[in-house]
Amino acid sequence: MDKLTIRGGRRLDGEVPIGGAKNAVLPVLAASLLTDQVLEVPNAPRLSDVRTMCEVLRELGSGVEFSSRGGVSVQSAQRPASRTGWDLVRKMRGSVCVLGPLLTRTGRAEVSLPGGCVFGVRPIDVHLKGLEALGAQLRIDHGYIIAEAPRSGLVGAELFLGTAFGSSVTGTMNVMMAATLAKGTTVIHGAACEPEVEDLGNCLLAMGARIHGLGSPRIEIEGVTELKGATHAVLPDRIEAGTYLVAGAIAGGRVRTTGCRPQHLSVLTDRFFEAGYAVERGPDWLEVRSDGQRARPTDVTTQPFPGFPTDLQAQWMALMCRAEGVSLITERIYPDRYMHLPELVRLGARIRRQEAVAIVQGTERLSGAHVTASDLRASAALVLAALVAEGETQVHRVYHIDRGYERIEERLVNLGADILRERDEEGP
Ligand code: EPZ
C-alpha cells in the first residue's frame, strides 16, 4: 500500500493535460460486449478502475490488449460467458454496466450485486426496472442478479427511468445499451443527461446503433440486429479537470487544464467567480488564477448535470475550509457522501454536518497531519487541503485515488507541489 507525503505552502503554476473520462471509458468498455468485433479506445486513461473493468471483460471471455500509448482494444468472445465474479464487481460498482450489453447480446447475464460503498447505499432498482420493461426476467440469487431475456430476445418499450434523486447515470447507460439490440424502438424518459451518457451514445452510434436525443432526458433507440466494432476516443474527464482547477485556487498560482471541455464545467466556473477567483477559458482549456487568497464563502448544492457535480463536492469543501466565512454544502445525490469531513477536521477544518448539509466555517490556517483516504473523490480532497496545510500531511490508502486519477503526484509535482509517493509502512 502507498501513501502520499505532502508539504503544504507551495504555489502551483503550469498546465495539466486532461485524460479520457473514467466514467465514460468504463461503460464504453462494457459496450464491447455488444459485438464480436474489436472496440478500440485510444485514449483510455491508465487507471485501476480501467484495469478492473478489463478483468471483468476477460472473465467473460473477451480479449484485451493495452497499447503502449495508453489505449486499450477489446474483443468479446463469439459466445461470451454469462457470469461475473463477486470479487471484481465488489471492487468497482461501474462493472454493473456489463449487465445490459451482456443480456441483450447473449440472452443471459449473472452479475454480482454491486453492494454499497463508503458513501452509502448504491441501489440498482432503476437498472432492473428498465431491463424488465424490455422483457427481461430478473431475480436475485445468492448475491447475484440473474437476468434472462425471452428466447426471441428483448423487445423495445417506452419507459421512465427517473429516481427519487433525479436520474441514474449507469442505469440510463445499461438500458440504452440493452435497447440497441432489442426488437423495435425504445423510448427512455427521465434519462440522465450527463456528458458521459452522451459520449457512450456516440460510441454506440459509431458501432452502428440508431439513437436520437442524446444529451436530453428523452432518448430514442431503434433496435438493430447486430453492431460492429469501432474506434472511439472518450471525452475528457471533467471531474479530473475540476479537481486540478480547485488545486490551483487553494494553493495559489495559475493552473491551466488543457484538452478539456469548458462547457462541461460551467457550474464550477460560476462558483469560482462567486468565491473570488479569476477563471479564463479557451476552446479546450480552462485556467484558474489565485494569489492564494482565502475564498469568499460560497454555497453549493449537488445536482444532476448541468448542476454542481457530486464528484466535485469533496474538492469544493476542501477549498471552503479556508474561506472567509461560513459556506453551506448540500449533497442531494448521495446524502452520506461525507467521508472526507472527519479527515478534513484532522487538518484543522471546522465543519459540522446536519444530515445532507455540511456547514463549513472557514479558518485561516490548516495544519498537516496523518489522514486516511476513503473514497475516490474524498481522497483527492485530502490532497488538495494538504497543499495549503502548514507542515507535512501523510495521506494513507492512496489506492483509492489511483482508481480515478492517473499519477496525481506527478501532475502536482509538475505544477510545483512538494508531494512524494512512498511505501506505507505505518499505514492503517
Ligand atoms: C455515476 O454513478 C458515477 N459513476 C458516479 O461517479 C457519480 O457520482 C454518479 O454517477 C452521479 O453522477 C460512474 O459513472 C461509474 P447514479 P451511478 O445511478 O451511475 C440513485 C466517481 O467518483 N439511484 O446516477 O452509480 C442513487 O442512490 C463515481 O467517479 C437509485 O435510486 O450513480 C443516487 O442517489 C462515484 N436507483 C442517484 O440515483 C438506481 O437504480 C444517482 O445515482 C440507481 C441510482
**275 — pLDDT class (breaks 50, 70, 90):** very high
pLDDT of residue 149: 98
The pLDDT of 101-129, averaged and rounded, is 86
The β-bridge partners of 390 are: 367
Nearest protein CA to atom 30 of ligand 1, as residue: 123
8-state DSSP, 215: T
Is 117 marked active-site? yes
- C-alpha 336/C-alpha 271 separation (Å) is 23
The pLDDT of 37-53, averaged and rounded, is 96
The pLDDT of 40-62, averaged and rounded, is 96
Residue 123 CA, ligand 1 centroid: distance in Å: 9
Mean pLDDT of all residues in the chain? 95
Is the pLDDT at 251 greater than 90? The verdict is: yes
Is the pLDDT at 79 greater than 80? The verdict is: yes
Residue 168 CA, ligand 1 centroid: distance in Å: 6
Write the pLDDT tens digit of every residue in 139-192: 999 889 999 999 999 999 999 998 776 789 999 999 999 999 999 999 999 999
- C-alpha 397/C-alpha 371 separation (Å) is 9
Write the pLDDT tens digit of every residue in 189-217: 999 999 999 999 999 999 999 999 999 99
Nearest protein CA to atom 13 of ligand 1, as residue: 23
Instruction: Give the percent of the chain with pLDDT over 70.
Output: 98
Is the pLDDT at 343 greater than 60? The verdict is: yes
Ligand 1 atom nearest to 127, measured from its CA: 40
Residue 286 CA, ligand 1 centroid: distance in Å: 26
Q: Report yes or no: 302 and 339 within 8 Å, Cβ to Cβ.
A: no
Among candidate residues 23, 91, 90, 80, the one with its CA nearest the CA of residue 57:
80
Q: Is the CB of 396 inside a 6 Å radius of any atom of ligand 1?
A: no
pLDDT of residue 426: 66
Residue 386 CA, ligand 1 centroid: distance in Å: 28
Q: Is 269 helix (H, G, I), strand (E, B) or coil?
A: helix
Q: Is the CB of 311 inside a 6 Å radius of any atom of ligand 1?
A: yes
HEC string of 54-98?
A: HHHHHHCCCEEEECCCCCEEEECCCCCCCECCHHHHHHCHHHHHH
Is the pLDDT at 337 greater than 60? The verdict is: yes
pLDDT of residue 163: 77
Nearest protein CA to atom 7 of ligand 1, as residue: 311
Q: Mutation test of ligand 1: which of 264, 333, 401 has the most ligand atoms closer than 8 Å to its C-beta?
A: 333
Question: Up-side HSE of residue 255: CA atoms within 13 Å toward CB?
Answer: 30
Nearest protein CA to atom 41 of ligand 1, as residue: 168
**425 — pLDDT class (breaks 50, 70, 90):** confident
Q: Is 190 helix (H, G, I), strand (E, B) or coil?
A: coil
Tell me which of 92-96, 238-242, 275-279 is least confident.
92-96
Write the pLDDT tens digit of every residue in 297-328: 999 999 999 999 999 999 999 999 999 999 99
Ligand 1 atom nearest to 125, measured from its CA: 40
pLDDT of residue 87: 82
Cell numbers that stand for 91 in this block: 471492487
Nearest protein CA to atom 1 of ligand 1, as residue: 169
The pLDDT of 281-292, averaged and rounded, is 96
pLDDT of residue 115: 64
Residue 384 CA, ligand 1 centroid: distance in Å: 24
Q: Report yes or no: 288 and 14 within 8 Å, Cβ to Cβ.
A: no
Is the pLDDT at 421 greater than 70? The verdict is: yes
Helices 376-386 and 408-415 pack at an angle, to 10 degrees, of 20
Give the helix ranges, DSSP H, for 186-299: 195-206, 238-251, 266-275
Question: Which residues neighbour 363 within 8 Å (Cβ) at sequence distance 6 or greater?
Answer: 321, 322, 348, 349, 350
